[in-house]
Structures are given as structure tokens and as C-alpha cells.
Amino acid sequence: MNICIIGAGYVGLTTAAVLAELGHEVCCVDQNKQKIEQLNNKHIPIYEPGLQELIHQNEQRLTFTDSFDEAMKNSVIIICVGTPSWADGSTDLRYIQSVIDDLSSRIDSYKTIITKSTVPPGTNEWMYTRLLEKGVPTHLFDIVANPEFLREGSAISDMLHADKIVVGLRHGDNRSLPVIQAMYSNIDAPYIVTSLNGAEMIKYASNAFLAMKISFINEIARICDAFGVNVNDVAKGIGCDPRIGSHFLQAGLGYGGSCFPKDVKSLERTARSRHIEPHLLQAVQLVNDSQIDVYIHKLQRALDDLPQRTVAVLGIAFKPNTDDTRDSPAERFIRQLSQTGCLIHAYDPKATLSNDHRPNVVQTKTIHEAIDGADAIVVATDWTEFQQLDWAEVKKQMNGTFVLDARNCLKRKEIEQCGLHYIGVGSG
Ligand SMILES: NC(=O)C1=CN([C@@H]2O[C@H](COP(=O)(O)OP(=O)(O)OC[C@H]3O[C@@H](n4cnc5c(N)ncnc54)[C@H](O)[C@@H]3O)[C@@H](O)[C@H]2O)C=CC1
Ligand SMILES: O=C(O)[C@H]1O[C@H](OP(=O)(O)OP(=O)(O)OC[C@H]2O[C@@H](n3ccc(=O)[nH]c3=O)[C@H](O)[C@@H]2O)[C@H](O)[C@@H](O)[C@@H]1O
């Protein structure tokens, strides 16, 4: 099958590599010329485990271009452009709009247009109408909603071993499903076939539910703290019940990344646009927004004279195994902590600090430089590297003794046995 992917970001590049691996001819188009140049020079602009290798293994079936005309030689088009938030929380659909306008003047043979970008209910219907208004006849296209559920850091495996394939179709569309089934023929996953709006809602409800689980366990962690209870025991205890499930109950700094914060906000706006008061979605965000304060207060209580201190913050990315810092809780923490005036040594194995930080924040090249002379260490992203630290060695390099585990990922006993003070939330 010949497939064109529009948008060479995290989702577009992973989709391109996986579909090429499944044997399809894939052309990836992006308006960012610099990105395309890098890709054509065998440089992958993002860090995603296994992606570089998969792209190189399949290079005979993969092309990268900034030309829409080149891309339009394919009959299947998958839209993977970004859908960020406006300041009021609603979804900025300008990239989607511009793709539809670019496509409309170039469709001269039948195309299946598949939307993988996360878009609010009603968007795919709007795309269909827009193409008609632009004069594209109905027999030349179909619009399909096929939301993506991959996670950064395990994107390839998530796509190859998807737990479901969600397909939203327009009423009466009997051409698209066989196309989608042929495209994913080597992926063994159940199909959920629904309407366009239905597929869009599944994506938002899924992200909102996962965000809700995180805020729930973070609120429980605060209560655990007050009673000297270990929240990990609680997560394990409730997670054994299959009706609750053990996933996404890791307490910590809160959820971040390019999707949960924007998608929960967008769903809140969608509800309000139909005069529905989204109480639960608001509460989920309220807990998440105040989660950084909980840890800053802990540090303030542990370290007297915080403005005169040096704090090593380990982790900048929004989660481990990625270089992505979009809406990263670790960066939010660094920004808020820097306002106290203390010196911050930030370190991350892959991610780079954004350049809007204060002069009292420096990114170190190595973890040892970060720890050297620190009065306290804060683990802000749960990279395995931080969980495997030799705490006896760490103690020798530090000036102080406090370790704030803001991801609930360290072994308390091990740290305390080395003479360090462990601080956690909901850690008993
Ligand atoms: N990042 C993730 O883990 C996931 C993201 N999603 C959704 O997928 C969509 C894409 O997300 P990411 O890949 O993270 O975004 P991204 O920002 O990494 O990539 C988007 C790409 O689209 C390109 N682009 C924008 N307008 C274009 C146009 N008119 N023509 C050609 N290229 C254009 C940009 O230059 C950029 O390279 C979003 O809607 C997101 O919510 C869904 C599941 C997972
Ligand atoms: O729509 C999207 O973009 C994607 O959003 C999330 O994937 P992702 O953002 O890559 O990462 P997650 O692993 O879900 O983590 C999101 C945030 O929640 C935090 N988190 C996650 C799990 C947990 O138990 N506790 C917790 O605090 C992480 O540290 C991170 O900041 C979803 O898991 C994907 O299914 C979805 O496709």
C-alpha cells in the first residue's frame, strides 16, 4: 500500500516507521524544511527508543519531503499534525485547517484521509464539510477518524502491539474500513468501529480517565502522608481489584507532557460549549496544578534558609525515556523552585532545559556535576539511571543529606541506610 503521512513529529515518524516495517511504501511530508533535511541526512530529530534503528532498517520504503504534490501521489493520507491548546484551553486547529486547505486543491483521484491527530468531537465532520465546500466531489474522498494511543518512550511497541484500533466512519462510508484493515493487517488488535464523533470522544475520554487516575492517587498520597501510610501499599492494594487495575497509580509530581494537560483542558471546553459543567475534569486539573506546591513545601520545611542552598534536580523531561519537555512537571518544579532564589543544578540524560529559566538554574552535563556540593537532591523524573544511584557515593559528593523523591520511585531504606534523609509524599 502507498501511504502519505502529514506531520513528521512523534506520532507521524513512529507511524511512518511502523507502517514501513509492516511492508508499506511510506512518504512522510512536513512543512518544516529543516526537519525534512535532517531526516534525509539520516538524522532523527527526536529521541524515541528504537525509532532511529527502525527508520534505518526500512529506509528503502521510506521517503521524506516538504512537497505536498509529491505526497499526493499516494491514495492513503494520514494526518499527524499537532493540535495544541489556545490560551483558553480550547484546541488550536489551525494546522488541521491548513492541511485540509492544502489537500483540497490537489485531490484528483480517490483518497482515504485518516485523522490520527487528537481532535475535539465534530472536527472530522467539519473537515468533510470543508472539503465539499472547497469543491472536492464526494466520490473522490472519505474521512476516517483513527486516533492514536501510543505513549512516548514506548511508541513503537505500543503501535505494533496496540490493545485496540479505533475507527470512526461517516454514516454510509463503506469504502474506508477495508483500507484501514489492509493497512493494519499485521497488527493483531480488536477493532472498535464507531462514528467520527465517537472515535474522537474515545480518545479524549481515554486520556481524561488516565489523568483522573493520576490525580486520584496524588490526592490519596496527600492523605496517606497525614496518617503515615505508604501510598505504594495503597496503590498495590486497590490495583489488585480488576475493576480498578494497577496501572497509572504512581503518585508523584503530577501528569505532564504534550497531551494529558491539553486534552483534559480541551474536553472541559468541549463540555462547556454544550453547557455541561465538567466538575470531575476540573477537579483532576486542580489536583494536578497544585501538586508542585506539595513538594516545594516539603523542601522548604526540610532546608532552612533555602535561598542560600544548592539543590540538584534530577530530571527535566516530562517522563523517562524521552527528550520531550513539553509541559514537563520537572520543568514546572524547577521554575517554581528557582523563584526561592536557591541555586539549581538540573540534569537529564536526554532532555534540555528550555531557555526561559532564571540565571540561578544551570544544566549540568553529568549527574555527578549536579550532585556535587548539593544540599538536597530532588528526583523529578523517574529515569532508571536515578533509581540505580549508589547512594553511599552520592552522600560523599553532597554537602547536605536530603533526598526528595518527587516520583515515588526510590528505595527509601537503601537511602536511609547510607545516612541520608528520605523525603517523599505518601511514603509512610
Ligand atoms: N506525542 C504523543 O505521544 C501523541 C500525540 N498524539 C496527537 O498526535 C498529534 C501530533 O502530535 P505530535 O506528533 O506529538 O506533534 P509534533 O509537534 O511532534 O509533530 C507535528 C508535526 O506536524 C508538522 N506540521 C504542522 N502543520 C503542518 C502542515 N500544514 N503540513 C505539514 N506538516 C505540518 C510540524 O512541523 C511537526 O513536525 C497531536 O494531535 C497529538 O495530540 C496522539 C497520541 C500520542
Ligand atoms: O495522547 C497522547 O499523547 C498519549 O498520552 C499519554 O502518553 P504520554 O503522554 O506519552 O505518557 P504517559 O506515560 O501517559 O505519562 C503522562 C504523564 O503522566 C505521568 N504519570 C503517568 C503514570 C502514573 O502512574 N503517574 C504519573 O504521574 C507521567 O510521569 C507523565 O508526566 C497516554 O498514555 C497515551 O495513551 C496517549 O496516546
What is the CATH number assigned to the segment(s) 2-189? 3.40.50.720
Question: Which residues neighbour 32 within 8 Å (Cβ) at sequence distance 6 or greater?
Answer: 8, 66
Q: How far is the CA of 357 from the centre of ligand 1 (A)?
A: 26
d(CA 250, CA 88): 29
| Average predicted confidence (pLDDT) for the chain | 96
Whole-number pLDDT of residue 11: 97
Of ligand 2's atoms, which has the minimum distance to the CA of residue 118? 1
Low-confidence ranges of the chain (pLDDT < 70): none
Whole-number pLDDT of residue 74: 80
Q: Which of 14, 91, 204, 210 to mutate to test the pocket of ligand 2 (most atoms within 8 A of CB)?
A: 210
| Whether residue 240 lies in the annotated active site | no
From the CA of 64, the nearest ligand is 1
Helix (H, G, I), strand (E, B), or coil: what is residue 77?
Answer: strand
**Closest residue by CA, ligand 1 atom 17:** 82
d(CA 395, CA 34): 45
Q: Which of 11, 67, 116, 326 to mutate to test the pocket of ligand 1 (most atoms within 8 A of CB)?
A: 11
**Closest residue by CA, ligand 1 atom 8:** 117
Protein fold of 195-427: Rossmann fold (3.40.50)
CA-wise closest residue to 403 among 294, 333, 302 = 302
Please give the model's pTM, rounded to 2 decimal places. Answer: 0.96
Q: How far is the CA of 310 from the centre of ligand 2 (A)?
A: 30
Annotated catalytic residue within 224, 259, 342, 409: 259
Instruction: Centre a 10 Å sphere on the Cβ of residue 383 and count the other Cβ atoms it contains.
Output: 23
d(CA 427, CA 230): 4
From the CA of 163, the nearest ligand is 2
Whole-number pLDDT of residue 371: 98
Spans of all domains in the chain: 2-189, 195-427
Whole-number pLDDT of residue 325: 96
Note the ipTM here.
Answer: 0.98
pLDDT in tens, 307-339: 999 999 999 999 999 999 999 999 999 999 999
